[in-house]
A and B are shown apart, each in its own frame.
Chain A
Amino acid sequence: MTGVIDTSAPPSRPARLVDDFAPPLILPGAHQLCAGCGEPAAIRSVVEMIDELGLTARAVGVFGIGCYTSFSPGMDVEVLQALHGRAPSLATGLKRVQPRSIVFTVQGDGDMVNEGLQEVIHTAARGEPVTCIMLNNGVFGETGGHMTATTVIGQRTKNSLEGRDPKKHGYPIRMAEMLAPLDGVAYVARGATNNAGNIFQLRKMLRSALQAQADGLGFTFVEILTMCPTGWFLQTGEAPDYLEDKLQAYHKVGIIKDVSVP
């Protein structure tokens, strides 16, 4: 019978424990995010790329405020906790006085695009050599699913119950496309965590962005589309397809700018 572990004989290899699967730089223990959330895979991808590039002993994460903030004490990486919307200015100050450090921010769409939009735009325009990472699920997940500036047209949220209507709520902001044309910007990409293929591509994007920072090429930005079944009012299993059908239709996955490629 498939799917049932055969216990009639001793196992052919020793049992493995949760810690054997624990990624480097993530502290053991369950995270506090909902089942089906796309953020843990995003955070894990970020720190694993730092580890792979051998940049760990220089890395500092500057965290915004959102569900992902529960990872701020949950990583074996130095963390500077910022206010909602304010991570890019803190990252700027830190990088200016510790130029050898590898500084990355973690913000959500509510944090970066709603609360602190001008912070990231000016940080990009100054060409600050930091990596800003936006986890974009199109809702304020922590408050329980409210509309943000990236919520796609037609998406239902707790304060757009009939779906986002441009006549009432305006249009979503495409963050990656907005930052890419600025002169100080070295690398811009948008990835997603809804399937293995997208995660594989996302890891390459994060690698490129962090490498560009280490090479001092300028400001780097990776937007990551993440699932939020709770805030989307969906069954956990439906969220990856919803991301592909709805979010990706507006926020296209791909590399938008890479100055290291001639």
Chain B
Amino acid sequence: MSLELLEGSEAIARAMISAGCRFFAGYPMTPFTEVLEGMAEHLPDVGGVCVNAESELEAVGMAWGAAAGGVRAATGSVGQGLSLMQESIAELCFARVPMVVLNMARGQGDYYQATRGGGHGDYRTIVLAPADLTEAVELVQLAFHLADKFRNPVMFMGDYYLAHVVEAVDTGPRLFPPLGPKDWALDGSTSGTGKARIVSPIMPTKRDAEVFIEYGDYLEGMSGRMAELVAGVDPLYEQGGCEDAEYVVVAYGTPGRIVRYVVEKMRRDGVKVGFFRPVTLYPFPAEALVAATRSARAVGVYELNAGQMIDDVRLSLSDRPITFIGGISFDDSGFGIAPELTPAKVEQRIIKAMAQARAEMAASAEMAV
């Protein structure tokens, strides 16, 4: 274990290389650019390849080709660039090609895009959202493990803050359970053997395969594969102060970190408030959220958008008043720096929401009498 003081994007790049990533392709866009710079600098040192793609369309295509060649590959962008990649991300799920996709978001307006996907067809990707660098260097390595394990793209969601915060972290390799060999990957060696491999989103088998799978049957199999993915991934989360909380605030990513700080401070002030931070945004930690809000009379959702993750909170909790206490907040840089995201302002919102919840509770109790 050796801690180094690193900027977020540099730490993420180094952790990806520790995870065995040997191919990276990207198109510059802040705050993804800085990770691309790190990969361009460090990948050649370990015999890897980093390509400056002509657009996000080609970046995901190149990573697709490299991943099909059996190498751990990644790409990424910002919400806008990821919009361009959506067709490929969907088809990568159908083709069962593992890949890590960095989503260095500007603000939190891309929660739907990340967790629902903007692509076509029935597919889902695992989404991991760290709140700080210690977690980021772990999760980006877990992302490669899960991608290979499920042969599915995994999205790693950061933001401008995560890319630029400087923290002491250990970017060395983490241990994961061993995975089988990639006996589906392509290098030409099975051509002409009568068992030539195929990696395809539409035709998983060659015509002369012992078990030939038709297109329709293959597509129908997607529902089973998605169920397998949801069942196979342990939803990750962090919570604090929830045991006797009368109010629980749900937040993810960097805002989740600020909310954690605020809630811990309010706890010290004697306020019965808790926080819940989903780390896997898909699969969403619904059961854990139910358990964490058992004592809460109301739940608040703090996000830097118009209210997106609140849908998943509502799907998880059916019997609790849920209020949205976040909002869109952007400074003029356009990079997703939120003037509203200060501990003082977040605390004000929580205090106001708690007061309102109490008042509503009292009013409904009065009506019941």
Contact = CB atoms under 8 A, between A and B. Distances in A.
A78 B67 contact: no
A80 B186 contact: yes
Interface residues of A, number: 43
Interface string B180-219: 0000001111111110111111110111100000000000
Nearest to B52: A126
A92 to B, nearest CB: 5
A167 to B, nearest CB: 31
A72 B66 contact: no
Most interface-central of B61, B70, B197 (chain A CB within 10 A): B61
A254 interface: no
Interface string A63-94: 00000010011111111111100101111111
A75 B196 contact: yes
Contacts of B23: 93, 96-97
A78 B62 contact: no
A80 to B, nearest CB: 5
Contact of B191 (A25, A27, A82, A92): A25
B199 A77 contact: no
B198 A122 contact: no
B191 to A, nearest CB: 5
B311 to A, nearest CB: 30
Contacts of B186: 60, 78, 80, 94, 98, 101
A122 B54 contact: yes
11 contacts: A27-B207, A57-B189, A78-B188, A78-B190, A81-B199, A81-B201, A81-B202, A86-B61, A92-B58, A95-B65, A97-B49
A182 B187 CA distance: 28
A63 to B, nearest CB: 8
A72 B200 contact: yes
Contacts of A90: 61-62, 64-65, 68
A60 B188 contact: yes
Nearest to B22: A97
Interface stretch (B87-95, B155-163, B230-238, B347-355): B87-95
Interface string A122-143: 1000000000000000000000
A78 B184 CA distance: 10
The 5 closest A-B pairs by CB, nearest first: A93-B65, A89-B61, A81-B200, A90-B65, A93-B66
Nearest to A116: B57
Nearest to B192: A56
A94 B191 contact: no
Interface in B137-189: 186-189
Given A58-B191, A81-B202, A92-B61, 10 more contacts: A28-B208, A58-B187, A72-B200, A76-B194, A79-B199, A86-B58, A90-B68, A93-B66, A97-B49, A122-B58
Interface in A94-134: 94-98, 100-102, 118-119, 122
B106 to A, nearest CB: 25
Contacts of A59: 188, 191-192
A29 B203 CA distance: 16
Contacts of B304: none
B242 to A, nearest CB: 45
Nearest to A82: B61
B83 interface: no
B105 to A, nearest CB: 24
A156 to B, nearest CB: 31
Contacts of A98: 69-70, 186-188
Contacts of B58: 86, 89, 92, 118-119, 122
Contacts of B95: 81
B298 to A, nearest CB: 46
B65 A102 contact: no
A62 interface: yes
A97 B69 contact: yes
A72 B203 contact: yes
A29 B207 contact: yes
B200 A78 contact: no
B188 A74 contact: no
A73 B190 contact: no
A78 B60 CA distance: 21
A1 to B, nearest CB: 40
A69 B202 CA distance: 10
Contact of B65 (A72, A74, A76, A80): A80
B71 interface: yes
Contacts of B53: 89
Given A78-B186, A86-B61, A97 B192 contact: no
B306 interface: no
A181 to B, nearest CB: 18
B25 interface: yes
Contacts of A94: 65-66, 68-69, 186
B299 interface: no
B55 interface: yes
A60 B191 contact: yes
A93 B53 CA distance: 10
B87 A79 contact: no
A254 B346 CA distance: 70
B73 interface: yes
B51 A86 contact: no
A86 B200 CA distance: 13
B187 A92 contact: no
B207 A74 contact: yes
A25 B62 contact: no
A93 B54 contact: no
A92 B51 contact: yes
Contacts of A28: 208
B91 A73 contact: no
A118 B192 contact: no
